Amino acid sequence: MPPLKRVGYAVVGLGSISQVAVLPAFAHSEGAELIALVSGDKRKAEKLRQEFKGSQAYSYTEYAECLKNPEVEAVYIATPPGEHEKYAVAAAKAGKHVLCEKPLAATVQQGRKMVEACRRNKVQFMTAYRKYYEPSTVTLKKMITQGELGRIDVMHTLFGEFRPHGDNSPAWLFSRKLCGGGPLMDLGVYCVNTCRWLAGEDPIAAEATSWARDRRRFKEVEEGIAFRLDFASGLILQGTAAYSSVFSSFVHVHGEKGWAALSPAFAFEEERRLNGKIGGKWFEQTFGPIDEFALELDAFARCVREGCKPEPDGAQGLRDLIIIDAIYKAAKKRGRVKIRYQ
């Protein structure tokens, strides 16, 4: 069978994640082709177009023109989360498939509108969670699914970065309107999504506490948050997301037969170590860095060509927003909050 035609992408938003990871991934992709780059700065878009061998460069004000380009079949949205809705809905109305960076949006309401627009216009919609394709996390998922750890009772997870006052962090990270929150939205969304995917179930209740030691920088969003999610099976997830600790991440899974630890769990540039003990015997596997973004682009391209449902789809991204909203409510209430998905 001949290989499928590559899917033409437009990348919307040319910040750090696009320049460091998304745009370079097209060179390693088997099913995706970079067609267009869209930015608020047309000169920046043109410069990056030349560097990464795209075909067209557009400004945000020319987005409608970009969507009329027949070579553009899908858009990869990498703007600040508060702007995801307008670019996703416009793409869906134009019949373009949507691959959107996490978190899906800045609010649950925005996320619902995105899911509905893609459903109504019958386009594919995927949330950009690369962990579903990264080998070390896939290996851990298989261990859990195959029962190697037995019944899972406890998970611990953390994702932290150090963002002190005066560093070069983009201002939108500290804007509730643009980001929807602080490190829980930016980093903790990985903790929430990855762990519920590993567990194969969704939480039913949340508890949390948040803090902001540096109130000069963290006026609108938290500096850190610790949360607990309860599941109907009895599983307890303990998670932390913070901008006040060194760059680090992990997932620990504890079951009746054994335990497993993955660290670093969420960085894409580093070697990963998966280790633990099952039945009294130690194990350890090492996974070198790979281009997770190319795997993600290819997975979505296959869905576009074959008409299969993306994993994770937009509805899963929306569920994470609902869970995160419950965590924020629990932190504000200082009590337990039930999670309602409808």
63: left (phi over 0), alpha (psi -120 to 50) or beta: alpha
Give me the pLDDT at residue 3, please. Answer: 64
Tokens coding 222:
């938290």
CATH topology agreement for domains 7-129+294-312 and 131-291+322-338:
no
Give me the pLDDT at residue 1, please. Answer: 38
Residuewise pLDDT in 10s, the chain (342 residues):
346 799 999 999 999 999 999 999 999 999 999 999 999 999 999 999 999 999 999 999 999 999 999 999 999 999 999 999 999 999 999 999 999 999 999 999 999 999 999 999 999 999 999 999 999 999 999 999 999 999 999 999 999 999 998 899 999 999 999 999 999 999 999 999 999 999 999 999 999 999 999 999 999 999 999 999 999 999 999 999 999 999 999 999 999 999 999 999 999 999 999 999 999 999 999 999 999 999 999 999 999 999 999 999 999 999 999 999 999 999 999 999 999 998
Residue 86 and residue 80 in contact, taking contact as beta carbons nearer than 8 Å: no
Region 7-129+294-312: CATH code: 3.40.50.720
Could you state, in order of their start, the residue ranges of all structural domains in the chain? 7-129+294-312, 131-291+322-338
Euclidean distance between CA atoms 77 and 74, whole angstroms? 10
Task: Using the Cα atoms of residue 37, residue 43, residue 48 and residue 50 in order, give the sign of their dihedral.
Answer: positive
Residues 6+ away with beta carbon under 8 Å from 310 = 124, 125, 126, 299, 300, 303
- Tell me if residue 76 falls in helix, strand or coil: strand
Give the model confidence (pLDDT) of 210-238 as tens digits.
Answer: 999 999 999 999 999 999 999 999 999 99
Domain 131-291+322-338 fold is: Dihydrodipicolinate Reductase; domain 2 (3.30.360)
Euclidean distance between CA atoms 45 and 55, whole angstroms? 11
Give me the pLDDT at residue 173, please. Answer: 96
Euclidean distance between CA atoms 272 and 264, whole angstroms? 6
Euclidean distance between CA atoms 326 and 54, whole angstroms? 41
Give the model confidence (pLDDT) of 104-117 as tens digits.
Answer: 999 999 999 999 99
Q: Looking at the chain, how many residues does it have?
A: 342
Give me the pLDDT at residue 4, please. Answer: 76
Give the model confidence (pLDDT) of 15-50 as tens digits.
Answer: 999 999 999 999 999 999 999 999 999 999 999 999
Tokens coding 78:
């990498």
310 exposure class (CB count in 10 Å sphere: 0-12, 13-18, 19+): buried
Euclidean distance between CA atoms 179 and 289, whole angstroms? 28
Question: In percent, how much of the chain has pLDDT > 70?
Answer: 99
